[in-house]
A and B are shown apart, each in its own frame.
Chain A
């Protein structure tokens, strides 16, 4: 069952093609990650799915509703946490949530218990009367997540949910998100440029220059570039090399006296290997490919490099626009 379906979605700004013929599905209940550098088209895609931006071509449905023809139904089906905070600093936490409840026509008898439930969950119930401008970045983010869930959405969109937050707060936010997903039967759609954050996703779409270059689970993506790397040393490297080749049918390499080879699912392979390998093993290590490696392999550049590229493209587009 797909909660989001995207078909040939396209968006141009002047001459710049920000999103170029993108198609994918998001399954109900999963955490779906959109990974890519700044300017790759992540936010533009989210804005189209949230009915804030008109597609130039193609189309999409969210919770079965068309993002162009059934905007109100789409809006009611989704919760949003944007990159920049969208809270009213001059109201209290509670007043911000109440505004949201009124705007989304949450029935009066549901409203107050729901506000209490969510504020308790994100540990802000004690601060409910506090003015939002006194809140830290992490508290604001938690409040925004609570607000995004107030009207029982089917999909929660998180656009760079932890950008600008310290690693500890980031982990804290993710604790809440994963707990909320369990409790609320929620689908989470997130964009991120943090590779470690993308690890929380069940499936990741890697987007670069407006196009999806890969879509799979984090493990699947890593496997696609050759699996895990086993590095070990033994007193007789030449004999070790031959034994590995013979027993596992792989093509190991010898580098600085250590033997290296790739296997799928290295964590399961490793104990077995240590137990049954005929020669003594002196040292051994397992390196899993990072999403960094995946990104590099698939796009030919690092996520940070392409960020600069994308900025330049946007600047150029701005000039054409004028």
Chain B
């Protein structure tokens, strides 16, 4: 047990050390979501107008972009596993007396903290973009981001534990990341689209992560949420969905990583 705890913290510590050492990564990880916000906001903002009373396109899109940023930086936990394997450092970790469960949890926590740092940086930009920000929003946002990030980093590590090459992993991630983002109601409300698209979006777990963050920012508004049948999915239900899925993904990652030759 102490080995799992020590493994978790030492691996997470290194992830953070590397994140801080590589300033370019902090900047590049912010650039992508910012580009979406500024370009799509400027491009579609005028045509689309208000999606709900008092909610323009940027205000609608912003929470979704936060979820997208959480997704990309959480999946980085997997990138980091594949990198370590390729550059050899994974052996230093694997042969240390720390247990593989601790390694998985450490990678997940490291990615979660970096995801959180990125979200906080994005929150700084909120007022500039005209998005309303209050203390209670921030306080509610933190636990939801943590739950979402832990689960998604579990997904990244799960994929990484079956991958040996950087190229293979990148390919799988690219194939995964774009449908996940585009079908998650980041750029459009999933209730206002053709049935086939709505069905796919409602199976996509990221939809619930994005909508949870949106409900925290905008409250529970009609027309821009997720409804299943006649039921408007509530914030607490969405947290349960992403939490449950997160436990499943992280658990599978632990099992997959513990396979020994």
Q: Is the CB of A52 within 8 A of B3?
A: no
- Contact residues, A95-137 vs B (CB, 8 A): 95, 99-100, 102-105
**Contact residues in B for A82 (Cβ distance below 8 Å):** 88, 91
- Contact residues, B48-69 vs A (CB, 8 A): none
Kindly state the separation between the CA atoms of A75 and B96 in the bound complex, as whole angstroms.
Answer: 6
Kindly state the separation between the CA atoms of A87 and B6 in the bound complex, as whole angstroms.
Answer: 20
Rounded to whole Å, the gap between the CB of B65 and the closest CB of chain A is: 28
**Contact residues in B for A75 (Cβ distance below 8 Å):** 95-97
Do A88 and B95 contact each other (CB < 8 Å), given the known contacts A54-B260, A95-B17? no
List residues of chain A with CB under 8 Å of any chain B CB.
Answer: 50-54, 71-72, 75-76, 80, 82, 84-91, 95, 99-100, 102-105
Q: Does B241 contact A (CB under 8 A)?
A: no
Kindly state the separation between the CA atoms of A23 and B70 in the bound complex, as whole angstroms.
Answer: 53
Please report the total number of B residues contacting A with Cβ < 8 Å: 25
| CB-based nearest A residue for B9 | A102
Interface readout for B234-261 with A: 1 if CB under 8 Å, 0 if not?
0000000000000000000000000011
Partner of B14, one of A86, A99, A104: A99
Interface readout for B76-116 with A: 1 if CB under 8 Å, 0 if not?
00000000000111111111111000000000000000000
Q: Does B156 contact A (CB under 8 A)?
A: no
Do A105 and B95 contact each other (CB < 8 Å), given the known contacts A86-B88, A87-B89, A95-B17? no
**Contact residues in B for A52 (Cβ distance below 8 Å):** 91, 94-95, 261
Kindly state the separation between the CA atoms of A76 and B21 in the bound complex, as whole angstroms.
Answer: 29
Interface readout for B6-40 with A: 1 if CB under 8 Å, 0 if not?
11011001100110011000000000000000000
Q: Is the CB of A84 within 8 A of B88?
A: yes
Q: Is the CB of A103 within 8 A of B22?
A: no
**Contact residues in A for B260 (Cβ distance below 8 Å):** 54
Q: Is the CB of A90 within 8 A of B91?
A: no
Rounded to whole Å, the gap between the CB of A107 and the closest CB of chain B is: 13
Partner of B13, one of A50, A51, A100, A102: A102
Interface of chain B: mostly helix, strand, loop or mixed? helix
Q: Is the CB of B88 within 8 A of A90?
A: no
Do A50 and B97 contact each other (CB < 8 Å), given the known contacts A88-B18, A91-B17, A102-B13? no
Rounded to whole Å, the gap between the CB of B17 and the closest CB of chain A is: 6
Show 7 residue pairs from A and B whose CB-CB distance is below 8 angstroms, ordered by the A residue.
Answer: A51-B95, A71-B97, A75-B96, A76-B97, A88-B14, A89-B87, A95-B17
Q: Is the CB of B92 within 8 A of A86?
A: yes
Q: Is the CB of A85 within 8 A of B88?
A: yes
Do A91 and B14 contact each other (CB < 8 Å), given the known contacts A86-B88, A102-B6? yes
**Contact residues in A for B97 (Cβ distance below 8 Å):** 71-72, 75-76, 103-105
**Contact residues in B for A54 (Cβ distance below 8 Å):** 260-261
| CB-based nearest A residue for B89 | A88
Rounded to whole Å, the gap between the CB of B76 and the closest CB of chain A is: 14
Q: Is the CB of B7 within 8 A of A103?
A: yes
- Of all A-B residue pairs in the complex, the 7 with the closest CB atoms, nearest first, are A103-B96, A86-B88, A75-B97, A86-B92, A102-B10, A72-B97, A86-B91
Rounded to whole Å, the gap between the CB of B81 and the closest CB of chain A is: 14
Rounded to whole Å, the gap between the CB of A281 and the closest CB of chain B is: 57
| CB-based nearest B residue for A73 | B97
Q: Is the CB of A99 within 8 A of B10?
A: yes
| CB-based nearest B residue for A99 | B14
Rounded to whole Å, the gap between the CB of A314 and the closest CB of chain B is: 16
| CB-based nearest B residue for A52 | B95
Q: Knowing that A52-B261, A82-B88 touch, tell me 20 more A-B residue pairs with CB under 8 angstroms.
A: A52-B91, A71-B97, A72-B3, A75-B96, A75-B97, A76-B97, A80-B95, A82-B91, A87-B88, A87-B89, A88-B92, A89-B87, A90-B18, A90-B22, A91-B17, A91-B18, A91-B21, A100-B96, A103-B10, A103-B97
Rounded to whole Å, the gap between the CB of B11 and the closest CB of chain A is: 8
**Contact residues in A for B90 (Cβ distance below 8 Å):** 86
Kindly state the separation between the CA atoms of A88 and B97 in the bound complex, as whole angstroms.
Answer: 18
**Contact residues in A for B21 (Cβ distance below 8 Å):** 90-91
Instruction: Pick from B22, B88, B97, B98 the residue with the most CB of A within 10 Å.
Output: B97
**Contact residues in B for A72 (Cβ distance below 8 Å):** 3, 97
| CB-based nearest B residue for A85 | B88
Rounded to whole Å, the gap between the CB of A43 and the closest CB of chain B is: 12
Kindly state the separation between the CA atoms of A235 and B104 in the bound complex, as whole angstroms.
Answer: 79
Kindly state the separation between the CA atoms of A100 and B18 in the bound complex, as whole angstroms.
Answer: 15
